[in-house]
Structure 1
Amino acid sequence: MARWEPNARERLVRAALDLFTEQGYDATTVSEIADRAGLTKTTFFRHFPDKREVLFAGQDTHARLLTDAIIEAPSPATPLEAVRAALDALAATFTDNRREFSAKLRPVIAGHGELQERSALKRAKLAEAVTNALHERGVPKPVAGLAAELGIRAFHHAFDQWADPANQQTLTELTRRTFDELRAAMAALD
């Protein structure tokens, strides 16, 4: 097989997840991931700094989607309306063909402390991106932070449900429902 083929980054991600599932995260080497993808170890390191990061490849894209949707929300939108628009933009990128991948990803992360920490860091970075985008719209930091945390919590809860292969709802539907449930719960705190 030729070493150069399109979609190297995606092939590395899929190869890593397959190997992590088959033999465990700790037992898998970068060389094995590159070999499984039909690429070189050097190519792996052009795309990822280490094997942990291969599972979190979309973080920058996700943060950008959230930020752009908040910035583009109509000016009269409330902070929660802007967050809902951002969640819709992000959830729409998770098509049904990604469900199987996501279902395999969850137990790999859940089974390894280092990956759980990286997942928590990703979640915090997404909340920070949403907070900053809301703040740029003139929303005070405490309000922006609370709206961001609510939105990211809703997204991750919905993602866990969506990644279950038995679930047939779209991630957008699940995220909207979860977001509305959390908004109602927040209102009940008064």
Structure 2
Amino acid sequence: MARWQPGTSGRLQAAALELFASRGYEQTTAAEIAQAVGLTERTFFRHFSDKREVLFRGQEQLTDAFLRGITAAPDDAAPMDVVAAGLDSGTAIFPDERRPHSRLRQSVIEQNPALQERERHKMSHLAATIGDALRARGVGEPAATLAAESASTVFGIAFIQWIREGEDRSLTEISRTVLSELRGLAGGNPARHPAQQPA
């Protein structure tokens, strides 16, 4: 995979994030983002339709990665095993070098209700797409929807853990741990932390 933030689009994204974090999303204009890297506002709009797209470009890449994993899963795989394959494929597009970018992006989103709503919509779209892919494999309802929503939830929880300060596990490793926790709950055997072990 190419290194994160290549070319003009990457420079604009990096500049936008820094400005959003320091000045606020609403207070930052597309022209100011472009000027920060020595470009014109016209150049900005050749790469992004608006400043919100700076934060949400890449949704298709994430969805496609999940679908590649789902497609590659064995035909006889159980729905949650298919989900596991999708999660492994989806999380693999987040190398550790991308973590600081993702952490800063999340901090900007958390400060703006409209951006939070857009992020929720992104995750809802991901779940719907996974559900369609599972149904195309012959998974019935409600299993397809339950598995798809689980995939989206596991990814979201794992992502937040991945961007925490001091975290050094890969997103894939964290995702597998969260999925294992979910499977334990679904099987009526939730994982216990040491402090929760019976005396």
| Structure 2 unmatched runs, 5+ | 1-5, 190-199
The alignment partner of 2:142 has SS state of helix
Q: Which residue of structure 1 aligns with residue 13 of structure 2?
A: 13
Q: Which residue of structure 2 aligns with residue 3 of structure 1?
A: none
> What does 1:66-81 align with in structure 2 at a 5 Å threshold?
66-81=66-81
Q: Report the TM-score, using the length of structure 1 for normalisation.
A: 0.91
2:92 equivalent to 1:102: no
| Residues 127 and 37 of structure 1, relative CA distance in 2, 3 Å threshold | farther
Number of aligned positions between the proteins = 184
2:139 equivalent to 1:142: no
RMSD: 1.5
Deviation at 1:45, TM superposition (A): 2.0
Deviation at 1:94, TM superposition (A): 1.0
> What does 1:149-168 align with in structure 2 at a 5 Å threshold?
149-168=149-168
| 2-structure distance, mates of 1:136, 1:43 | 41
> Would you say the 8 A contact 1:99–1:162 is kept in 2?
yes
The alignment partner of 2:51 has SS state of coil
CA deviation string 1:70-116 (max 9, x = no partner)? 11211111111111011101111111111111111121111100110
| Residues 185 and 7 of structure 1, relative CA distance in 2, 3 Å threshold | same
Report runs of 4+ in structure 1 exceeding 6 Å deviation: none
| Structure 1 unmatched runs, 5+ | 1-5
Q: Report the TM-score, using the length of structure 2 for normalisation.
A: 0.87
Query: What percentage of aligned pairs have identical amino acids?
Result: 43
Deviation at 1:53, TM superposition (A): 1.7
> Would you say the 8 A contact 2:68–2:89 is kept in 1?
no
| 2-structure distance, mates of 1:77, 1:132 | 16
> Would you say the 8 A contact 1:131–1:141 is kept in 2?
no
> Which structure would you say has the larger Rg?
2
Deviation at 1:123, TM superposition (A): 0.4
